[in-house]
Amino acid sequence: MLQPPSVKSIESNLEVCEISNTAQLTKQIKTYVNDKFTGQLSVQSKSTLNQQWSLFFQSGSLIGCSSSIHPMRRWCRQQSTHCPQLDLYTSSTSNDQVVKNSLEFAAQKLKLHHNLLSYESLLELVEQEKIRKDQIEAFFEGHFQEILFDIIQTLEQRGDDLGLRLICKPISQYNINSTVIEVQIERVLQETMKSWTAWQQAGLADISPNFAPKIHQAKELQRQTSHTVYHNLTALADGNQTLRDLSVKL
């Protein structure tokens, strides 16, 4: 979803390698940063064709990302958390409505792909001072952290036997002003690892935050809890909201 427009890719210079652990992933990313790499780094599952993530670099800076896993939900979560006023530029809602119901309005866009702003439009809003620079940077960082978390969890679950495939595709240049967004990749990696460590310590290493919990024995839950607790739990754990979605609401 945060994919910058490129001028030209250099297909003949594709590099492919395989990684089997988080240390290798981190090392590769830092290498691209130190080498001032410009281009796309795709991370693919060797066994599941529909599982792919991409990171976009310009002169060693992380400037964009995309994922085949819940891209619309990710956008909605980050918008609600960091840039609720983006709705002012994608819908006709009033400012008060946006502030009060930003998550609900964002959720509606799951079926309205064409209403989402383009990468270039996001940068233009910053340049026009309609959105603060720190807000958009937090919006981008939230995307990066979620995608890196998913890659790390996949690596840790698969182990040495399966691992992941990295495909490095150099780009001659991106048709954007990349200085508008300044994201510290070192900080993104550190925060992602903190989240992953906390997730493991909570005993959730095998549970994806993209899973949507659902209560299967509602009558038993109702018998053992108060009316308020039962109502709240059944409203949240309805099978339609992922753990990440719920973290924004709670």
Quote the pLDDT of residue 114.
Answer: 44
Question: How do the pLDDT tens digits run along the chain, 250 residues long?
Answer: 688 876 555 555 788 999 999 999 999 999 999 999 999 999 998 777 678 999 999 999 999 999 988 888 999 899 999 999 888 876 544 344 433 444 454 445 444 444 567 888 888 999 999 999 999 999 999 999 999 999 999 999 876 567 899 999 998 877 777 777 888 899 999 999 999 999 999 999 999 999 999 999 989 989 999 999 998 899 899 999 999 999 998 8
Pairing of strands 39-45, 61-67: unpaired
Quote the pLDDT of residue 94.
Answer: 39
Report residue 38 CA to chain centroid gap.
Answer: 20
Quote the pLDDT of residue 115.
Answer: 56
Residue entry with tokens 């099978």: 239
Quote the pLDDT of residue 10.
Answer: 58
Dihedral of CA atoms 124, 129, 131, 133 in degrees, nearest 10, equals: 90
Quote the pLDDT of residue 250.
Answer: 80
Instruction: Write out the DSSP string of 87-156.
Output: GGGTS---HHHHHHHHHHHHHHGGG-GGGSPPHHHHHHHHHTTSS-HHHHHHHHHHHHHHHHHHHHHHHH
What is the token pair recorded at 142?
């939230």
In eight-state DSSP terms, residue 50 is: T
Q: How far apart (Å, rounded) are the C-alpha atoms in residues 87 and 104?
A: 11
- Are 26 and 152 contacting, i.e. CB atoms less than 8 angstroms apart? no
Report residue 37 CA to chain centroid gap.
Answer: 21
Q: How far apart (Å, rounded) are the C-alpha atoms in residues 68 and 49?
A: 10
Query: Global pTM?
Result: 0.85
Quote the pLDDT of residue 54.
Answer: 94
Residue entry with tokens 């919006």: 139
Residue entry with tokens 């659902």: 214
In eight-state DSSP terms, residue 2 is: B
